[in-house]
């Protein structure tokens, strides 16, 4: 919509003087229809038409060029050279920094980043400069416990960069003592303020847990057994993609509770108001993360 508005404005601005010029042209009345007067009036009209056509042509070109520029911005994370933009540079179409004033907590900022990702307006980053700046230490604001699924990359889908997220991943976004130990390190030593347990659509681990199939190894049995008790009751009520989605959501909620239950350090951090634990669901189709209650 922005493209339409910006391209319409110069067109309208040009047409006003063009119309004024037309009005200022001596009127061709029946009494003045000499060959010279008629010729002069026709020449003036043709000049105006050429100028209008020329302006409309330039407008049309600019309109087609803008989406290309936006697309470049959308892929700038990987393609932009290190000196191309500061770390806070925004891609075309992003609102100014003041527009984010309402995003006062980490979770809101991550969800705003996810909306940028889903709409193809990811930020352009100077990754080389960020890497250098992070050599001395890290201060990630959030921990994300996500599924290991290759389609669910937290830094990408929350539009974050190096040093922003402390990511822990396991198929089915399950917790265990090693996962909890990683989270405790991030909260206790790095002072992360948020833990996000992120489930997702079409999750293979959830499907395996729902299927009831026999797992071919003790390790896979251990993984599926973490999920099955939470999701198997859903088999009686739902089927297909809805069953898997509901299972993934139930599993993410359950893991968030388990994180609190099984870690004294994290539980106390929540009780002291230093930490927030939330769960969310990532939709592969829309690219959007929905907070789970
Ligand atoms: Zn998964």
pLDDT, tens digit (0-9, with 9 covering 90-100), for 82-113: 333 333 333 333 343 444 444 569 999 999 99
36: pLDDT confidence band, cut at 50, 70 and 90?
A: low
Q: What is the mean pLDDT of the chain?
A: 77
Cα 121 to ligand 1 centre (Å): 25
Cα 34 to ligand 1 centre (Å): 83
CA 209 to chain centre: 30
Cα 203 to ligand 1 centre (Å): 4
For position 293, what pLDDT does the model report?
Answer: 83
pLDDT digits (tens, 9 = 90+) for 115-139: 999 999 999 999 999 999 999 999 9
pLDDT digits (tens, 9 = 90+) for 42-51: 454 445 444 4
60: pLDDT confidence band, cut at 50, 70 and 90?
A: very low
Q: Is the pLDDT of residue 292 over 50?
A: yes
Q: Is the distance from CB of 154 to CB of 141 less than 8 angstroms?
A: no
Q: What is the pTM of this model?
A: 0.67
For position 103, what pLDDT does the model report?
Answer: 57
Cα 122 to ligand 1 centre (Å): 24
Q: Is the pLDDT of residue 2 over 50?
A: no
Cα 174 to ligand 1 centre (Å): 10
Cα 147 to ligand 1 centre (Å): 5
Residue 248: phi, psi to the nearest 5? -65, -40
| Tokens coding 268 | 């106390």
Cα–Cα distance list, 291 to 200, 238, 255, 280, 282 (Å): 12, 21, 14, 4, 9
Give the burial string for 186-198 (b: 16+ CB within 10 Å, else e). bbeeeebbbbbbb
Cα 5 to ligand 1 centre (Å): 42
For position 104, what pLDDT does the model report?
Answer: 66
Which of 79-83, 254-258, 284-288 is least confident? 79-83
Cα 173 to ligand 1 centre (Å): 7
pLDDT digits (tens, 9 = 90+) for 170-211: 999 999 999 999 999 999 999 999 999 999 999 999 999 999
For position 98, what pLDDT does the model report?
Answer: 40
How many Å apart are CA 89 and CA 85, to the nearest integer? 6
Cα 171 to ligand 1 centre (Å): 5
Q: What order of strands is seen across the sheet that includes strand 194-200?
A: 165-169, 142-146, 194-200, 276-282, 289-292
* Mean pLDDT value of segment 146-153: 98
For position 272, what pLDDT does the model report?
Answer: 97
| Tokens coding 70 | 């936006």
Q: Is the pLDDT of residue 52 over 70?
A: no
Could you give the angle at which helices 240-262 and 218-231 cross, rounded to 10 degrees? 100
How many Å apart are CA 70 and CA 62, to the nearest integer? 13
* Mean pLDDT value of segment 233-261: 97
Q: Is the distance from CB of 268 to CB of 241 less than 8 angstroms?
A: no
Residue 199: phi, psi to the nearest 5? -90, 170
Cα 172 to ligand 1 centre (Å): 5
Cα 59 to ligand 1 centre (Å): 47
Which of 63-67, 242-246, 266-270 is least confident? 63-67
- Domain 105-292 in CATH: superfamily? Carbonic anhydrase (3.40.1050.10)
Selection from 41, 44, 57 nearest residue 18 by Cα: 44
246: pLDDT confidence band, cut at 50, 70 and 90?
A: very high
Ion ligand 1, residues whose Cβ is below 5 A away: 147, 149, 203
Q: Is the pLDDT of residue 147 over 70?
A: yes
Cα 22 to ligand 1 centre (Å): 67
Give domain limits for the chain.
Answer: 2-74, 105-292
């Amino acid at each position: 919509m922005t493209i339409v508005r910006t391209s319409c404005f110069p067109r309208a601005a040009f047409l006003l003087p063009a119309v004024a010029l037309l009005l200022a042209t001596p009127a061709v009345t029946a009494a003045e229809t000499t060959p010279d007067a008629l010729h002069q009036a026709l020449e003036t009209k043709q000049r105006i038409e050429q100028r209008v056509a020329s302006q409309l042509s330039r407008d049309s070109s600019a309109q087609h060029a803008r989406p290309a520029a936006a697309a470049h911005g959308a892929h700038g994370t990987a393609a932009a050279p290190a000196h191309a933009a500061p770390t806070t540079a925004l891609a075309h179409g992003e609102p100014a920094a003041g527009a984010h004033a309402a995003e006062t907590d980490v979770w809101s900022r991550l969800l705003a980043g996810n909306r940028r990702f889903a709409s193809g307006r990811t930020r352009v980053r100077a990754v080389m400069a960020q890497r250098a700046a992070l050599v001395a230490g890290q201060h990630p604001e959030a921990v994300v416990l996500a599924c290991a699924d290759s389609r669910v990359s937290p830094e990408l889908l929350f539009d974050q960069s190096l040093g922003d997220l402390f990511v822990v991943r396991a198929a089915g976004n399950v917790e265990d003592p090693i996962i909890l130990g990683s989270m405790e390190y991030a909260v206790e030593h790095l002072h992360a303020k948020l833990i996000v347990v992120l489930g997702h659509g079409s999750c293979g681990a959830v499907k395996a847990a729902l299927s009831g199939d026999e797992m071919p190894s003790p390790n896979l049995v251990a993984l599926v057994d973490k999920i099955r008790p939470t999701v198997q009751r859903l088999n009686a009520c739902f089927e297909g993609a809805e069953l898997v989605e509901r299972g993934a959501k139930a599993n993410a909620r359950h893991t968030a509770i388990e994180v609190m239950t099984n870690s004294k350090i994290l539980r106390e951090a929540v009780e002291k108001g230093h930490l927030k634990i939330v769960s969310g669901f990532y939709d592969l189709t829309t690219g959007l993360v929905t907070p789970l209650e």
